Chain A
Amino acid sequence: MAVISYREALNQAMREEMERDQDVFVMGEEVGHYNGAYKVTQGLLQRFSERRVVDTPIAEMGFAGIGVGAAMVGLRPIVEFMTWNFSLVAIDQIVNSAAKMFQMSGGQFNIPIVFRGPSGPAVQVGSQHSQALESWYAHVPGLAVALPSTAYDAKGLLKTAIRDDNPVVFMEGETLYGTTGEVPEAEYLIPFGQGDIKRAGADITLVAWSRMVHVCLDAAKVLADDGIDCEVVDPRTLRPLDVPIIVDSVRKTGRCVIAEVGWPSAGFGAEIAYQVQRHCLDALDAPVERVCSDDVPMPYAKNLEDEVQPQVADVVAAVRRALYLDA
């Protein structure tokens, strides 16, 4: 199996879907001539021409709205945000237009649009450019929210997103683009709402998505040295959420830590914690623990940036708390 980068996996997904379906097109800032701010759209302009790979002005609300309109007339746009931080300018188009058009039109309009781009804290880009906003979008009915953590998941989920007749918020890990993984040559799709056990274990369930999956896997290695066997569950899409995979895991282990890079207050981990207590009450041996970023805007200084974000040691500490090994 070919080992390719997360970035390349996304590129393959778009390229294959654009070849398969003439209605699929990409638009966004610098997606064409510059090959994308993070080079995810590399080579698409050459392959598919300016008609299907459209460079836009710096006007998120405008091009997001054009994308919704294009979807309404039957095209299948992929709208790239240079980062999801900038989507806040366009949030009205995503939340009020894309998410609701099918319902508000009485089912007359499908909105087969993918909003995609890098998400989550990056490195030293300041508080306005370093945010994990998945909890915001996962809150909204009418949107699907996908957050692949591996190259394999990235390709399979993006192809599903492009073929979906409803709007999809597709959040790529800003620090994951260079990570690599095995991706099959043959075509495959990963359905939404189908999580993945990234590591099987018996003692405790760690639920994480996007970059935090890797932090949890590293923490699991550290904990394995102490004889603690962690199971790492990656829901892959927060909406729809694969509740059964989480519930099954927690019923098996009796304990749960949810790790997310977002802020604690009203973060998506709280929703998962609710689902866990709702369905696993009699299987729980300890309260559900959460690991989040500190409840502050992201600092610029590298050392403070690391301090604010959940690290391996934070996950290890939470696991030990949940196992009553530490206070």
Chain B
Amino acid sequence: MAQIIGLPKLSPTMEEGVLVKWVKKVGDKVSPGDLVAEVETDKANMDFTIEDEGTVLHLFVKEGETVKLGAPVAILGKPGEDIAALIAQGAAPAAAPAAAPPTPAKPAPVAASPAAAAKPAPVAAAAKPAPVVAAAPGPGPAPGGRLLASPLAKTLAVELGIDLRTVTGSGPGGRIVERDVRAAASDGPRAVATTAIVAAPAVASTAAASADTALATVGEQAGDWIDVPASNMRKRIAARLTEAKRDVPHFYLMRRFDPAPLLAFRTRLNALLGDRGKVSVNDLIVKSAALALRRVPACNAAWVGDAIRRYQRVHVGIAVAIEDGLVTPVVRDADLKGLGVVAAEVADLAKRARERALKGHEITGSTFTVSNLGMFNIERFTAIINPPEAAILAVGGISDEPVVKDGAVVPGKRMTLTLSCDHRVIDGALGAKLLAVIVEQLEAPEALAL
């Protein structure tokens, strides 16, 4: 019997995807494991494989369209089946985008409450504003289903790509005001925020000026800015990093150390490797972090609300900048792998990240992340934790500096590592211990071979 196939979750944080390319077309037979389509998620282009058997009878979605998770994409069945009812059923929600996607396994909230569905919800909500004073501050809509936000906060949220439902309001009755949205955005994409500050009055001004000639002198010139539509990935990064910076109590620990032994060690390693590959400074730091997490397991952990989850394996994420975004492919069991293997894996992951060819499992499940901006001559920086991980290591560049050795100032090298810690999981002394072990191993890099 014919059935509707919904868009499956292809990455853990996926909420929607762009159907990039249909591999199968109407009339094609498919069996479990077959590649049906390519879907761009917030992370990468993913393969959409099918778990059922049958013939493709109908496609709901055109290439390039954005589809919500669970929304119907195709009908599968036997050739010649009458699928008119299914097409109508699948097409219906598309006409009303606000409706929840009909995933058979998970009934939509509206369906669960027939009374609520029968009553036109927007009218009910508008007619009965939430009591302003009674509502307690907190994220999400106020009692009564209304989200209290000032007009400015709403305008700003649209411009900064902030979901107001994720913002905690500090105004009366939990009303979200400008400062809350700016706080939520402050550690997201900085350039976007700056543009919006300029654009905000301009947008309002244009609208009002056209409506009232008395305000003709108020308006700003059109063309003073452009809005670049945010990609799925960019929106997701904005939301995730905002959440992380706002909800995770970060603190930062910094260590400067002498990278000279590390550089010498790397030179020896690369000589030994010859044309079998190269080990980078970053690979050595990844390896050191992995070993250190094994020695200080309390840091290889996550805050899960009512417990601290200690991971039993060490998977290190590597932050990789790609065009208009950022992904963190994962070196699994990095503590157990030899330096050559780590180096080869990192090189391969980074290359495929830039080609957007990573699979879902390759970008999920890290327990700690290393972010390196040394190649951009950044001396040191603080990174935002990649939740649910409890820490992230920010790696700065190597600089030539005068250093004091045996009471004399001599030329030397210095490098700075900054560990951002989630204070709910890692206290100061614990974080310091992890950083100390990482640095100790880098200063005596033979330890990395043990």
Contact = CB atoms under 8 A, between A and B. Distances in A.
A129 interface: no
B402 interface: no
For chain B, which range describes its interface: under 10, 10 to 19, 20 to 34, or 35 or more residues? Answer: 20 to 34
B217 A282 contact: no
12 contacts: A243-B215, A244-B214, A244-B218, A251-B205, A279-B218, A281-B204, A283-B204, A284-B150, A285-B150, A285-B151, A285-B177, A327-B172
A286 B215 contact: no
A244 B154 CA distance: 23
Interface string B199-231: 011011101100010110110000000000000
A285 to B, nearest CB: 4
A243 B200 CA distance: 19
Interface in B141-155: 150-155
A286 B153 CA distance: 10
Given A284-B151, A286-B150, 10 more contacts: A243-B214, A244-B217, A247-B208, A247-B218, A248-B218, A280-B204, A281-B151, A282-B155, A324-B170, A324-B177
Contact of A282 (B154, B170, B172, B218): B154
Contacts of A285: 150-153, 177-178
B140 interface: no
Contacts of B152: 254, 282-285
A282 B171 contact: no
Contact of A279 (B150, B177, B212): B212
A279 B206 CA distance: 10
A327 B132 CA distance: 12
Contacts of A282: 151-152, 154-155, 203-204, 207
B446 to A, nearest CB: 55
Interface of chain B, main secondary structure: helix
Interface in A52-111: none
Contact of B204 (A251, A286, A324, A327): A251
Contact of B215 (A247, A281, A327): A247
A244 B218 CA distance: 6
A245 to B, nearest CB: 9
B300 to A, nearest CB: 42
Interface of B: 150-155, 170-172, 177-178, 200-201, 203-205, 207-208, 212, 214-215, 217-218
A286 B177 CA distance: 8
Nearest to A244: B218
Contacts of A252: 201
Contacts of A279: 208, 212, 215, 218
Contacts of B177: 285-286, 324
B75 to A, nearest CB: 44
Nearest to B214: A243
Closest 10 CB pairs of A and B: A285-B152, A251-B201, A282-B155, A285-B178, A279-B208, A285-B150, A282-B204, A244-B218, A282-B151, A285-B177
Nearest to A281: B151
Contact of A283 (B172, B200, B212, B215): B200
A255 to B, nearest CB: 9
Contacts of A281: 151, 204
Nearest to A242: B214
A327 B137 CA distance: 14
Contacts of A243: 214-215
A243 B151 CA distance: 20
A282 to B, nearest CB: 4
B219 to A, nearest CB: 10
A284 B175 CA distance: 13
